[in-house]
Structure 1
Amino acid sequence: MSEQSVLLVDDDDVLRGALEQSFELAGIAVIAERDPTVALARIDAGFDGAVVSDIRMPKMDGLELFRRIAAIDHEIPVLLMTGHGDVAMAVAALKNGAFDFIPKPFATDHLIAGARRALEMRRLVLDNRRLRAAAEETIGAEPLIGETPVMVRLRETMRQIAQADIDVLVEGETGTGKELVAVLLHRWSNRRSRPFVAVNCAALPEAVAEIELFGHDGDSRLPRTGRIEASNRGTLFLDEIESTLPAVQAKLLRVLEEREVMPVGGDLPRALDLRVIAAAKPGLDQAVEDGRFRAELLFRLDAVRLRIPPLRERRDDVPLLFGHLLHQAAERFGREVPTIDTATLAYLGQHDWPGNVRELDNLAKRLVLRVEADAPADEDGDLPLPARVDKFEEATIRATLHQVSGDVRSALAALGIPRKTFYDKLKRHEIDVEAYRPTKG
């Protein structure tokens, strides 16, 4: 199917026809089937829609259809339409993984709203599967590299707690690989086949942050499954947790304490089975003291704390990691791996790497692409490598600002560095962003 569809299964021709028309009027693609066996033949693990089925049907009832669909893919959402006498069976199916049940008689808007939530859930499931597959490819090529004692202990600890199903707080500076640690913990856990939902708390717009996280219910025109509910049975990764809005912190605390989520506008909370991994830059404890972060939320998140050391604390790993990144960049760009000379090795050991692995990776890519060759030989040939890198850095920032007409957000995306690092470099190189912005006339 080229678009998400509701697969409607009901042997009542009149009701089926009426519901089919209702879905079409609501703008939802629908495939209506009288025979559950025929409907089942339409479903495979790649089915991207939701199933709405009556319970009472000849040959195969809705409960058996649900069980067979779950055997194909337990994350295909199935909504069951049930009469008064079948409510107990529907509740049992709900406990076994059915998405929802709609008791008859029901308002069509109620069914449409439930179907929209189911379609949104299925879309998130499939998106996460694709993201997981891509992440696993990345992990296979870029493991958590390092042979210093601190990195060996970190990997050993991760292995020990991965299957413990306990919440984890990952602490580390920008570019140290906090999300990679979260993905590995999920991959090594018993939840590996379930959703891994990553949320950047700093990137949530204040106006929609609660709906994005907790979902929306109570308005059939705006049903939406939140990111938290989308991680049910899997892992929820909350990146930059220190940037969470105060109002959202209070609701997150309830999620952690009760393992349930209350959608915006909803009447009843929804039970959750999830593992939470949060990531923060150093200073979360100070944020609690300053009143910017709730102490109770930190206590709940901090069941186990993993600290990822910055590169300056494990300098012996830098050459090993840099060699890996060089080979990776060479393979990506179809170039030969450049020779690392003694000056480069000295710089690798002396530099503090404030951008950590991300900054190291950028240097590897530049060396593979031989970007430094663009500089005039008579100007840079006698300069030491750090000075040449500084000149290249300044030239790259200026060229990027020129390309994006001084737009900071676009420059950050192009350069791949954090906002603070960007402004620090502007100050160091005495670059005025305003000079690159169009003059207003």
Structure 2
Amino acid sequence: MPTALIVDDEAANRKLLSFHCEELGIASEEFKTGASVLKRLASSDGSEIVLLDILMPDMDGFELLGAIRQKHRQLPVIMVTALDDSDSVIRCLRLGATDYIPKGSDAARLQASLRNALKVISLNEQLSDARATIHSLTGIRSVVARSQNMLDIIQLLDQVKNTEATVLLLGESGVGKEIFARYIHFESLRHQRPFVAVNCAAIPETLFESELFGHEVGAFTGATERRTGKFEAAKSGTIFLDEIGEMSMAVQARLLRVLQDRTVTPIGGNKEVPVKARVICATNKRLEQEVAEGRFRRDLYFRLNAFPVEIPPLRTRKDDIPAFARLFLEQACVKFDKEINGLTPAALEALVQHDWPGNVRELENAIERAVLLCRGRDLDDVTLSLLPRAAPQAAASQGEGHAGDVYPLIHRGFATPDDVVSLDVVERDFIRSAVETCSGDIADTARRLGISRSTLYARMRKYGINPEAYRQARE
């Protein structure tokens, strides 16, 4: 229920305003000082209407209005004061007052202003609901933070979200870097503007500049119509450049100019287009190492590294796993139209104990597979069928992974000759599993398998594996 916070140093004025509020069914609280109402607003739920005098002893109404607006931009604030000069009216409106009513005005004038304030609160609530819906559709709900290191990261992102700073999100594949990029965008003042995500690893090098910067008609063979580049499409919103480390040196040079000049020139064009979008980048590579080895421009690295944020792997934030699991279970039940009550304690324990080399993405895939296989009302550890995996340190010391880490049958040996399968079957299943775990990201899959992208493409053609199916499943 909306509550009127009446701020006036004179008790008679407070009582009169309280009476008019009660006539409209609005509860009221009375305050004699600015400090006391600011303390009350620290626990605001957005349903308050502030009725504010100007002439007060400790803090005048102008100063108090400015302090309120710093933290509560949407809150209706009605000035009710003895000052009736135009300068005071203009100053209050510039500071963000919703209305200005001279003391002594008839009750109808005040009540009309209160009704308008109620409409403002209702619209704010509708906007909040709509924003929550947008967040759920764009993956914002997937930002799970229970562990202290993730709470610290959310705090960092909250500090930078409303600035122009370029953010560089770092971390292993599957930790959810795009989700955090969306969090920055949809929690910022740009939330109503476009969010354009670009997977730099998925764009062929020959099309990279056309995709990012656009092209004009006739710019090259086959350019029969003008194409708007991603930077231009982002307008005043956010452009998210994922896997920034996959760019060629030539494209890196072009991107550096865009970031420095804040303009792009489409291929074949001679007119500069202003870049107003905020830039967020992400990579699972160590860019300082890429710079040292000559694969990434030093000047671009320093430009992108203005605000680096490292997203830790899931194995280092075990406290987040149960919350992630419940979220993915809920989403999978909706996706596959299944009714499952929840996860058994044994299932949760198995999830927490698992190492999750594929991070959040692997956990989501595991929950989805388990939901499809589940025949009861609860998801148990048997249904999850988690695959054993060697510790990361051990795998690294061995120099290469073992098939047993992925295939328990091979790991424990074949029980009978009938269990033995051909190497082609093993390779096919191994590659399919890798592509699925990496959500169809060819560059990431090839890197983790230790082969070139061209070799991976050849193997996928041989076994009829379509990476698009796994990208679509992720989307």
- Shared fold, TM over 0.5: yes
- Structure 2 unaligned blocks of 5 or more: 1-130, 390-404, 411-420, 452-457, 465-475
Decide whether the 8 Å contact of 1:200 with 1:240 is kept in 2: yes
Match of 1:153 in 2: 152
Are 1:175 and 2:166 counterparts?
no
Report the residue type matching 1:196 in the other structure. Answer: F
Contact 2:181 2:240 in 1 (8 A): yes
Superposed displacement of residue 202, structure 1: 0.9
2:187 counterpart letter in structure 1: W
Correspondence for 2:117:
none
2:143 alignment counterpart? 144
What amino acid does structure 2 have at the position aligned with 1:244?
M
The aligned residue for residue 279 of structure 1 is 282
Q: For 2:229 and 2:409, how far apart are their aligned partners in 1?
A: 41
Partner of 1:351: 354
TM-score when normalising by structure 2: 0.53
The gaps in structure 1 that reach 5 residues or longer are 1-131, 374-379
Identity of aligned residues (%): 40
Offset at 1:323?
A: 2.1
For the 8 Å contact 1:217–1:263, the answer to whether it is kept is: yes
Q: Could you tell me how far apart the structure 2 residues matched to 1:414 and 1:347 are?
A: 19
- The CA RMSD measured in Å over matched residues stands at 4.1
Residue 385 of structure 1 deviates from its aligned partner by: 5.5
Task: Return the offset for 1:235.
Answer: 1.0
CA displacement, residues 341-386 of structure 1 (integer Å, 9 cap, x when unaligned): 454334323322111111101111122222699xxxxxx99xx964
Paired residues for 1:320-359 under 5 Å:
320-337=323-340, 340-359=343-362
Counterpart contact for 1:353–1:359, Cα < 8 Å: yes
Q: Specify whether residues 293 and 140 from structure 1 end up closer, same or farther in structure 2 by C-alpha distance, changes over 3 A only.
A: closer
Which deviations, in whole Å up to 9, do the C-alpha atoms of 1:382-429 show, x marking residues without a partner? Answer: xx96469955899xxx9xx98xx99968983698365555896899xx
Indicate conservation of the 8 Å contact 2:174/2:438, yes or no. no
How far apart, in 2, do the equivalents of 1:254 and 1:267 lie?
Answer: 15
How far apart are the structure 2 equivalents of 1:414 and 1:148? 24
| Contact 1:338–1:368 (8 Å) recurs in 2 | no
- CA distance in 2 between partners of 1:393 and 1:147 (Å): 36
Contact 2:171 2:283 in 1 (8 A): yes
Structure 2 equivalent of residue 207 of structure 1? 206
Whether the 8 Å CA contact 1:407–1:437 is kept in 2: the answer is: no
CA shift, 1:284, in A, is: 1.4
Amino acid at match of 2:435: L
Aligned partner of residue 296 in structure 1, secondary structure: helix
Kindly provide the CA deviation profile for residues 276-326 of structure 1, in whole angstroms up to 9, marking residues without a partner as x.
Answer: 000111411111111101111111111111111110110121122212222
In the TM superposition, what are the counterparts of 1:192-231 in structure 2 within 5 Å?
A: 192-217=191-216, 219=218, 221-231=224-234
Question: Compared with structure 1, are the counterparts of its residues 295 and 133 closer, same or farther at alpha carbon in structure 2 (3 Å cutoff)?
Answer: farther
Matched ranges for 1:52-131 at <5 A = none
Matches within 5 A, 1:381-392: 386=387
> Which whole-Å CA distance do the structure 2 matches of 1:173 and 1:352 have between them?
14
Query: What CA distance in whole angstroms lies between the structure 2 residues aligned with 1:325 and 1:214?
Result: 36
Q: Name the amino acid aligned to 1:366.
A: R
Note if 1:291 corresponds to 2:290: no
Q: Determine the C-alpha separation between the residues in 2 that align with 1:231 and 1:188.
A: 17
Q: Return the offset for 1:219.
A: 3.3
> In the alignment, is the contact (CA less than 8 A) between 2:202 and 2:441 conserved in 1?
no
Counterpart AA for 1:335? K
Q: How many residues are matched?
A: 289
Supply the distance in 2 between the matched residues of 1:280 and 1:359 (Cα, whole angstroms).
18
SS of equivalent to 1:354: coil
Structure showing greater radius of gyration is 2
